[in-house]
Each structure stands twice: as structure tokens, then as C-alpha cells.
A = this chain, B = another copy of it.
Amino acid sequence: MAVGLPLAGEVLPVEGVSLAVTAAGIKAGGELDAVLISLAEGSTTVGVFTKNIFCAAPVTVCKQHLELDRPRCFIINSGNANAAMGNAGIEDALRVCEFIAASSELRKQQVLPFSTGVIGERLPVDKIISAHPKLLADLSTAGWTGAARGIMTTDTRPKACSKQVLINGSRITITGICKGSGMIRPDMATLLVYLATDASVEKDLLQSLLQKAVDQSFNRITIDTDTSTNDSCMLSATHKSGISIDTADESLDLFSTALNALCQQMAQEIVRDGEGATKFVEVKVQQGRDSDECLAIAYAIAESPLVKTALFASDANWGRIVMAIGKAGVQDLDTGLIDIYLGSVRIVHNGERDPDYHEEMGSEVMQKEEIVVRISLGRGRVAESVWTCDLSHDYIQINAEYRT
């Protein structure tokens, strides 16, 4: 189950990036579970990673390799997270990198490993190594959608998306794939996300553009408050278009806008495919004094199990929204200035039930698949949005049965 239609539009190749996917036998049932992404020589790659202190072995190795060299390939497996495995986990991740480096004439540190799946089980290194020749043979610039399928865990559909932008009359492309459906409350980066562009961007600038895009997209979603040990978001610039992104002209703004839009679309797609999701919900808090207070209240609403079960039930139980605002920890808030809207229906005005509000008005909004909950704090000019889904029986079912 997922809310709304899959991401629309063609998934465009990025010159300098080729991808392959196969079933390496890590997941039971012969599903696709191993992906290789190859980057042209000279590509620039940056990443942001989970802040979970129990970060997985591949995250540790990725960060080290990124400091040492320019990545030339990503090896990604689903079905096993290689997390909480201590030194054995690091050794396993390195063995994969070493093998791939040797068979592709690369340095070990040019290979970045990524894993997603069950935490606490030994990585089946041999299965990944055995699958590598086929991956290498199958590399194709048209491999994005297949790769999106190969990194899925509880996702019900692959997530891939492209944007193009004209810079000084030339077209550059940004394409991305991502996965994620549960354990979603990113803190820094999230999930597995692979973005690439044929634009030419210098490393520090690329890093700051990625961080900014992630903060407005993957760091604004929550499915179940839980932050993964394996969250990684990578952005590679292959420079193949010959178009430079520069802080000196409008190219920066055009590129940044396209990248932000792409990330936001992909992040929202993750929420639409959230575990058990039947509703896609934007929680928007406006007229706040600063981002922090807007986000505190938006997350308190978006993460409240009672708000989320009411959304699942299509019940306009606005008392639970009031409760969530009140528990957000914003201490000096004047409740007498607060308005609450469901869609365009004002339910609470100046902290009290709007006299014109009737239950049927709220119910009508709640029947929809896509709902905007809007809170106006009446004390400033800052607005922030967070995207979430409802909490349904299927969430319980999926996570009670995950390892069976």
C-alpha cells in the first residue's frame, strides 16, 4: 500500500554514471538485493550520513574512504544492514571493497560500501563477491530504475526521479534513487539516497548544496520517529556536461533549486510509501518566531501516535492536535493566538474551537488521502513543513513480522 501515484516522469541517464542490479541471494526469495554504481573518472562525490551513534560499519568505512580518495564505485546490498557487528562488520565491509577494487583496477578507498536490512547479522560477503562479475558485466547508464528496485527493503515501489535545468543555454541533468519505508526519522541524512549530476561542481560547494537540500527534504520527514543506523545520502557530480556550477552567477541558484525540488519530491515519495501508510500528511507550522519552534511543534504533531491513529481513522479529532502542540516544549507560547486548520477548514481560532466549525467540515477533509494540517502561531514570520503518514494496522503487521 502506498498513497498516491508513483513518482512520474522519465528517469534520465546521467553521463558518467552506470548502474547494475542482481539477486545475490542475500534476501530470501530471490529478490534483487545487490547494486553496483560506477562513476566516471574525475567525478566528485559528497555524502551526508546518519547521526545514530551506533552507525553501521559501511557508514564508518564510507566516511573514511571519502576522506582519502575520489569514489569510483558504490556497492550496495539490501537484506542485511551490517550494523552492530563491531570489528567483524568493518572487516566484512572492507573485504567487499578490496575484492571490487582488485577486480576493477581501483584503489580500495575508491569503493564505497552501503548496506540496508536486518541489523545484527553477519554480512554475507561471499554472496556479494560472487555477484560482482555479473554486476560489472551489466553496468548501464539506463540502470537507474533497476538499481532503485535493488535497494528496496519494505518499500512497496522503487523510487527514482530526474530534473533537468538549463544553465547558460545548456541542459544539465540530476537523477536520484532512494529507498526507505520504516525506521524513518532522519537526522542529518537519511535512508539510502544516490543522486548524480553531469554538472561540474567543486567538492565543498557540492557538499554544502547537498546539506542544504537534505535539510529541506529528507530531514523534514518522519514515519515512525526511528533513526536508522545506515542512513546515507550521496551526491556525485561527473562534470561530463562541461557546465560549471559557480557561486559567481545564476547557475548556482538554478542548480540548487532543481536539486532541492528533486530531494523534496523523493523525500515525500518515501513518506507516501511509509510502512502501512494510507494518508500522506503535510504538517505546516507558520507565523512562528524561528525554525526551531515551528519544527518542534510540527514534529510533535507528526509523531504523535494519537494524531496518527486519528488520521488513519479519518477522524477529525482535533483535540489530539491541540494536545500535541501543547506537549511540544515551546514554553512561552500564547495559546490564545493559535489557529488550527485541517485543509482550508479553520477548526481552532485564537486557541478555541471556531464557532463556525462543525464536525462534518473536518470529517470531509479527513476522508482525503492527502491532508494538510496547518498551525498558525500568530507571533512571527517563519514557516516550516514536515511530512508524515498515518499509523495503521499494517505498520504493526509489517514490523511485527519483519524477521519472520
Contacts and interface: CB of A to CB of B under 8 A. Distances in A.
Q: Which of A119, A333, A348, A401 has the most CB of B within 10 A?
A: A119
Nearest to A303: B225
A386 to B, nearest CB: 16
A225 B324 CA distance: 10
Interface in A148-162: none
A160 to B, nearest CB: 26
Nearest to A88: B352
A93 interface: no
Contact of A310 (B303, B350, B399): B399
A226 B325 CA distance: 11
Interface stretch (A4-12, A129-137, A167-175, A387-395): A387-395
Interface string A316-358: 0111101111110011010110000000000010111100000
Contacts of A392: 396
Contacts of A55: 326
Interface residues of A, number: 66
Which secondary structure characterizes the binding site on chain A?
loop
Given A183-B323, A317-B402, 19 more contacts: A52-B326, A53-B326, A54-B322, A83-B319, A84-B348, A84-B353, A86-B336, A86-B350, A87-B352, A118-B319, A119-B320, A120-B322, A225-B303, A226-B320, A227-B323, A305-B395, A309-B395, A313-B404, A393-B393
Interface of A: 51-55, 81, 83-88, 118-120, 182-183, 185, 187, 224-229, 303-306, 309-310, 312-313, 315, 317-320, 322-327, 330-331, 333, 335-336, 348, 350-353, 391-393, 395-397, 399-404
A82 B90 CA distance: 56
Given A84-B351, A119-B319, A396-B392, A54 B326 contact: yes
A183 B224 contact: no
B229 A54 contact: no
Contacts of A399: 305-306, 309-310, 313
A323 to B, nearest CB: 5
A81 B224 contact: no
Contact of A226 (B81, B185, B305, B352): B305
Contacts of A182: 306
Q: Which of A85, A88, A323, A324 has the most CB of B within 10 A?
A: A323
Nearest to A353: B120
Q: Which of A313, A330, A351 has the most CB of B within 10 A?
A: A313
A320 B227 CA distance: 10
A326 B83 CA distance: 11
26 contacts: A53-B325, A54-B322, A54-B323, A54-B335, A83-B322, A83-B323, A84-B351, A85-B353, A87-B352, A119-B319, A119-B322, A120-B319, A120-B322, A187-B327, A224-B306, A226-B305, A305-B395, A309-B396, A309-B399, A310-B402, A312-B396, A315-B403, A393-B393, A393-B396, A393-B397, A395-B396
Contacts of A81: 319
Q: Which of A52, A53, A310, A391 has the most CB of B within 10 A?
A: A53
Q: Which of A88, A352, A401 has the most CB of B within 10 A?
A: A352
A120 B326 CA distance: 14
B326 A225 contact: no
Contact of A85 (B88, B318, B352, B404): B352
A229 to B, nearest CB: 5
The 10 closest A-B pairs by CB, nearest first: A119-B319, A54-B326, A86-B352, A313-B400, A52-B326, A309-B399, A227-B327, A120-B319, A84-B322, A224-B305
A330 B396 contact: no
